[in-house]
Amino acid sequence: MTRYAALLAALALPAPLLAQGVLIAPTVVFIDARTRTASLMIVNPNEQAAEIEVGTLFAYPVTDSTGQLVLRTVEAPDSTLPSAAAWVKPFPRRMSLAPHAQQTVRLLVTPPPSLADGEYWSRIVVTARGGQLPLSAGADTGGVRVGLSVEVRTIIPLLYRKGRQTGGIVVSALRAQRQGDSLVVRAHVERTGTAAALGTARGELIDSTGTSRAVFSAPVTAYYSVDPRFTFPLDSVPPGRYRLRLEISPGRQDLAADAIVPFSAVRDSVTVLLP
Amino acid sequence: MVMRAVVPLLLLLPASRGAAQTLQVTGIRGVAFGPMLPGTSAVVSRTDGSRSAQFDIKGTGSGRVVQLQFTLPAALSGPGGAVVPLSYASADAGFSALQSIASQTAFDPRSPYTATLATNGRGSVFLGCTAQPAAGQAPGNYTATLTLTVTYFP
């Protein structure tokens, strides 16, 4: 078989891959200064051993120009940023997990002794690599082979709280615009408390009779400020003049209530003309 | 401490409490290149159910927002420094909250993408790409690593 034919034969074979990845619990880590420790459970649910590495970095969510949440990572946070990344030590940091095995990773926080009260942030990075993948062999013994490994990285937040926290947000610049068969709502949300605001936005489109014609609900996260984008369908909403009401309140479906620093719900509204 | 066969116990934890929330990201398969001729590009579409790369995300709870970001290999590396270049187009990645390859929202794999998981906490990510073997491509083992980073926004 010529070298070209061997390459052709090898590349024609499917890239072999056993499922790789891990399960992580919880998905948000809250640590109080009185305990300075928490646990993370990592499970390998697959039939292949996994090499796991746990690390930290400083990052927080912001919104881009379209209103999408993106993670802003700061490689070397200075003293003006509330970074806990350097204080969080995972034990163990590296491990090999057999198929269907799980491991508890202890997270220990050792902050500076003079740390001021407040909320400090980090992200936990769990990287899972599978074992050496078998390569697809060509039909000949020349051994032209190809393989594609997969690495999965999961990033979850860690919030370290010292002292009593206060919550609060302000909402401004509420506006809405029809785009196709949807109403796109934008607003500026700014945190005013000492803790990141973890809330839920609920929107309602009210017609001239006071009847609710469309609703939406979406999580809102403000570490500093965000300009989120909410969308809800207008399938059954005829053209006309409406009032859009927006409320952002503390609490989230995916977080325990006692983990959230409460804040007063805020409301705003704006007139919307649907052509 | 490593324990075995406790996954079912973890999955039985109530989903309504924050402490019991879980997130699982699994690489199901890599990109499988089909027949190709030296000097001729081979394209794998993200909608190809057997050859596109697939990652499954499984969380508890609904309305979860995650950021998806690929670290894409520029080439498959082979013997003696030989490479097979890989390229990615602006619609080569797709996200499906229904976990259906037939129902994807396309996105650019070269940029971060924010996705909302389905009400059952699930979603799938698909990736296609193009391999460009040279006319004189050397035989040997060609390998690369594809990384998907999933960031959970609480």
pLDDT band at residue A65, thresholds of 50, 70 and 90?
Answer: very high
Burial class (CB in 10 A: 0-12, 13-18, 19+), A53: middle
Question: How far is it, in rounded angstroms, from Cα B86 to Cα A169?
Answer: 46
Judge if the upstream peptide bond of residue A92 is cis by omega within 30 degrees of 0. yes
Give A139 to chain B, closest Cα distance, Å: 13
From the list A20, A28, A221, the residue facing B26 with the nearest CB is A20
Q: Decide: A227 and A189 in contact? Cβ < 8 Å.
A: yes
Read off the pLDDT of each residue in A125-143 and give the average, rounded to a whole number: 57
HEC profile of B81-132: HCEEEEECCCCCEEEECCCCCCCCEEECCCCCEEEECCCCCEEEEEECEEEC
Question: How far is it, in rounded angstroms, from Cα A139 to Cα A8?
Answer: 10
Burial class (CB in 10 A: 0-12, 13-18, 19+), B85: middle
Q: The tokens of A156 are what? A: 């979850």
- Of B124, B132, B121, B129, nearest in space to B146 by CA: B129
CB contact under 8 A, B139 and A7: yes
Give the pLDDT score at B30: 83
From the list B24, B64, B76, the residue facing A254 with the nearest CB is B64
Question: How far is it, in rounded angstroms, from Cα A71 to Cα B67?
Answer: 8
List the Cα angle B127/B130/B131 in 5-degree steps.
125
Give B111 to chain A, closest Cα distance, Å: 11
Question: How far is it, in rounded angstroms, from Cα A56 to Cα A158?
Answer: 9
Give the single-character DSSP code of B32.
Answer: -
Residue type, A196: A
CB contact under 8 A, B20 and A28: no
Please report the residues numbered 133 through 152 in chain B whose beta carbons come closer than 8 angstroms to any beta carbon of chain A.
133, 137-152
pLDDT band at residue A129, thresholds of 50, 70 and 90?
Answer: confident
pLDDT at A13 over 60: no
Residue type, A82: P
**DSSP secondary structure, A49-88, as one string:** -EEEEEEEEEEEEEE-TTS-EEEEEESS--TTS-B-TTTE
pLDDT band at residue A146, thresholds of 50, 70 and 90?
Answer: low
Q: How many CB atoms lie within 10 A of CB B41?
A: 12
- Of A166, A216, A173, nearest in space to A191 by CA: A166
pLDDT tens digits for range B79-119: 889 998 999 999 999 999 999 999 999 999 999 999 989 98
pLDDT tens digits for range A193-211: 999 999 999 999 999 999 9
pLDDT tens digits for range B32-69: 876 667 788 888 999 999 889 999 999 887 678 899 99
Question: How far is it, in rounded angstroms, from Cα B29 to Cα B34?
Answer: 14
**DSSP secondary structure, B39-94, as one string:** TS-EEE-TT-TTTSEEEEEEESSSS-EEEEEEE--SEEE-GGG-EEEEE--TTSEE
From the list A4, A22, A26, the residue facing B19 with the nearest CB is A26
**What CA–CA distances, in Å, run from A102 to A21, A65, A105, B142, B151?**
12, 40, 10, 33, 21
Tell me which chain A residues have a C-beta less than 8 angstroms from the C-beta of B130.
none
Percent residues over pLDDT 70 in chain B = 83
The residue written with tokens 């959970």 in the block is B152
pLDDT tens digits for range B115-143: 989 988 899 999 999 988 888 888 777 88
Question: How far is it, in rounded angstroms, from Cα B119 to Cα B63?
Answer: 6
Q: The tokens of A271 are what? A: 């007139």
From the list B23, B28, B31, the residue facing A24 with the nearest CB is B23
- Of B94, B71, B76, B91, nearest in space to B148 by CA: B71
CB contact under 8 A, B34 and A12: yes
CB contact under 8 A, B18 and A24: no
